[in-house]
Amino acid sequence: MAAFVRRGPDRPHWRRGGPRPILNDHTHLSPGMFIPSRGSKVANPVVRRLRTLSRPPVRALAALLSLASALLVAPGVGAQAADASGLRADIDRRVAQVDGKVVAWRRDFHQHPELSNRETRTAKIVADHLRSLGIEVRTGVARTGVVGVLRGGRPGPVVALRADMDALPVGEEVDLPFASKVRSTYNGQEVGVMHACGHDMHTAMLMGAAEVLAGMRAQLPGTVKFIFQPAEEGPPPGEDGGARMMIKEGALDAPSPTAIFGLHVFPFASGHLTVRPEGLMASGDVLRITVRGRQTHGAIPWAGVDPIVVAAQIVMGLQTIVSRQSDLTTSPAVVTVGSIHGGVRNNIVPDSVVMMGTVRTFDLAMRGDIHARLRRTAESIAASAGATAEVRIDTLAPVTYNDPTLTERMTPTLRRVAGEGNVATAKQTTTAEDFGYFQQRIPGMFVFLGITPKGSDPAKAAPNHSPRFFADEAAMPTGVRTLANLAVDYLTQGATPTPASTRGQ
Ligand SMILES: [Zn+2]
Ligand SMILES: [Zn+2]
């Protein structure tokens, strides 16, 4: 069974014996890179000066002085390094300035959570903030989404940063002065509403990063696109929404970014970061099975076909797909039935039962295989009882697939931001994210940010989506710095072609 295809860069042709490439303006010189032999045409002033160093000693001193001045002005090396460190220091200064606001925004969003596709208040605050920074703003993208474009003062590539804005139908049980008391209706039921997945933090941190980057726009070598996305948790039944709809409505067009970054808070050491190349989070598919029997009196079941018993058999049958039929050495997978509805009264066998569940995989082939087995199992068990099963599988999110080349390139940025010892390889998680839709279109990297306070055990912390989910605000400056630094480092390094990520979808 095919696992993810490793998408490492192809071997350069010159390693296979072809002609060596000539350094061009896009090549970044670094210590240790080869210097072309004399006689070849070299535009880079640093290389020219390095070459003169090998001339007779009488000219060497002059060349050395010349090299020193070149390092200060050369566009390829010295200036870029100086620029980068200047920009980084600027980011840190500005993050400290904006930190109070980020906390205030986060608390405000936390106290006023909005369900998926209903993020009107949040979106307005976001849009007003971006406009106040002089950022070009488009609203109403995929219903309530907001897209901002910040054009830097210098030419360069386009990079996107994404945050999600929606909350969950969960009643908050955390004792906070800004705890949510909001109630709403979801899927016909009255529910509490809570930012139980930390999207309040994501939105606030990206607003902070926007303010930081807008403050240094004159120095930015390129364009930053801010994508504030609705309905990451999935639009309400019957509605479209989320990343897929944002892309359909042009979130990645005009201008088109060549890379995208996003982050998500999870319970582990506050302020630490984790990331991994390739499949980070699972694909999430929504499973819906309608079992149709024939209604009858509960006392004379033989006069009908009982869909409740059939549904029970199907639930058990589905559990054998992962445990008995899938090669778990290839990749993990999960099939869960999370809801069963059928019947209204103790002594009536109903006509039908509706079940809903979720399917999680990290591998494209395995995903297709499990889908086929789900259909076969449900339909065959139903047929064995004279009932029918209609199976519908909708994609909520593809695999969150971190482009390996981009991830390798940007991991040093994470280490610098969080500290060398505070960045680790992320474990795969069977939770899903619709960030993968962006990564299907352009290379992207999704990063986890720890939010378990110092002194607490992350293993005992309430997970995302729990009514007791608690996130340490002290991690937020690291989040803002991560977003801003990823954008600036990507722009400063210049866009290099990375293969489009299409695996795991
Ligand atoms: Zn969530
Ligand atoms: Zn989430």
Distance of CA 167 from the midpoint of ligand 1 (Å): 8
Separation of 236 CA from ligand 1 center, angstroms?
Answer: 14
Which helix (H) or strand (E) segment holds residue 156: the answer is: strand 154-164
Of 348, 370, 397, the residue at which a domain comes to its end is 397
Per-residue model confidence as pLDDT tens digits over 128-152: 999 999 999 999 999 999 999 999 9
Task: Provide the CATH number for the domain around residue 232.
Answer: 3.40.630.10
Q: What total number of domains does the chain contain?
A: 3
In terms of domains, do 224 and 345 share one? Answer: no
- Among 135, 150, 93, CA closest to 477: 93
If asked whether residues 378 and 411 sit together in one domain, one would say no
**Which domain-ending residue is among 57, 77, 97?**
77
Q: Output the CA 152–ligand 1 centroid distance in Å.
A: 33
Answer yes or no: do 271 and 295 share one domain: no
Quickly tell me which residue has 């909001």 as its tokens: 182
Nearest ligand (C-alpha, residue 202): 2
Q: Does 92 fall in a domain?
A: no
Pair (385, 456) in one structural domain: no
Residues 123 and 252 in one domain: yes
Output the CA 168–ligand 1 centroid distance in Å: 8
Based on the fold, state whether residues 178 and 234 are members of the same structural domain: yes
The domain of 35 spans 4-77
pLDDT of residue 75: 47
Nearest to 204 by CA among 265, 259, 152, 150: 265
Task: For the chain, 505 residues long, give each residue's pLDDT as a single digit of tens.
Answer: 333 333 333 333 333 333 333 333 232 323 223 333 333 443 444 334 444 444 444 454 444 544 444 444 444 555 666 677 889 999 999 999 999 999 999 999 999 999 999 999 999 999 999 999 999 999 999 999 999 999 999 999 999 999 999 999 999 999 999 999 999 999 899 999 999 999 999 999 999 999 999 999 999 999 999 999 999 999 998 899 999 999 999 999 999 999 999 999 999 999 999 999 998 999 999 999 999 999 999 999 999 999 999 999 999 999 999 999 999 998 899 999 999 999 999 999 999 999 999 999 998 789 999 999 999 999 999 999 999 999 999 988 999 999 999 999 999 999 999 999 999 999 999 999 999 999 999 999 999 999 999 999 999 999 999 999 999 999 999 999 999 999 999 999 987 655 554 444 4
> Does residue 229 contact residue 117 with C-beta atoms inside 8 Å?
no
In angstroms, what is the span from residue 310 Cα to ligand 1's centroid? 32
Q: Are residues 350 and 481 in the same domain?
A: no
Assess whether 180 and 50 both reside in one domain: no
Whole-number Å distance, alpha carbon 202 to ligand 1 midpoint, is: 12
Q: Which ligand is nearest to the CA of 284?
A: 1
pTM of the model as a whole = 0.77
Q: What is the DSSP string of 59-124?
A: HHHHHHHHHHHHHHH-TTTHHHHHHHHHHHHHHHHHHHHHHHHHHHHHHHHHHS--BTT--HHHHH
94 occurs within a structural domain: no
Q: Which secondary structure element, helix H or strand E, spans residue 151, and what is its range?
A: strand 145-151
Q: Are residues 318 and 415 in the same domain?
A: no
Question: How far is the centre of ligand 2, averaged over its atoms, from the C-alpha of 26 (Å)?
Answer: 37
Residue 87 lies inside a defined structural domain of this protein: no
Give distance in angstroms: CA of 466 to centre of ligand 2: 12
Cα 434 to ligand 2 centroid, rounded to whole Å: 9
- 186 - beta bridge partners? 189
**Residues 240 and 291 occupy one common structural domain:** no
Kindly give, in sequence order, each residue whose CB lies less than 8 Å from that of residue 329, ignoring residues fewer than 6 positions away.
none
pLDDT score recorded for residue 496: 62
Residue 262 placed within a domain: yes
Q: Which ligand is nearest to the CA of 169?
A: 1
Residue 447's closest CA among 205, 170, 117?
A: 205
CA of 263 relative to ligand 2 center, distance in Å? 9
CA of 197 to the centre of ligand 2 (A): 5
Separation of CA 233 and ligand 1 centre (Å): 6
| Ligand nearest, relative to CA of residue 465 | 1
CATH number at residue 329: 3.30.70.360
Q: How far is the CA of 464 from the centre of ligand 1 (A)?
A: 6
At residue 187, the pLDDT reads 87
Residues 333 and 468 both lie in one domain: no
CA 309 – ligand 1 centroid, Å: 33
Residue 95 lies in a domain: no
H helix count then E strand count, the chain: 11, 18
Distance from residue 500's CA to the centre of ligand 2 (Å): 24
CA of 465 to the centre of ligand 2 (A): 8
Residues with CB under 5 A from ligand 1 (ion): 197
CA 348 / ligand 1 centre spacing (Å): 38
User: Which pLDDT tens digit goes with each residue over 77-87?
Assistant: 556 666 778 89
254 in a structural domain:
yes
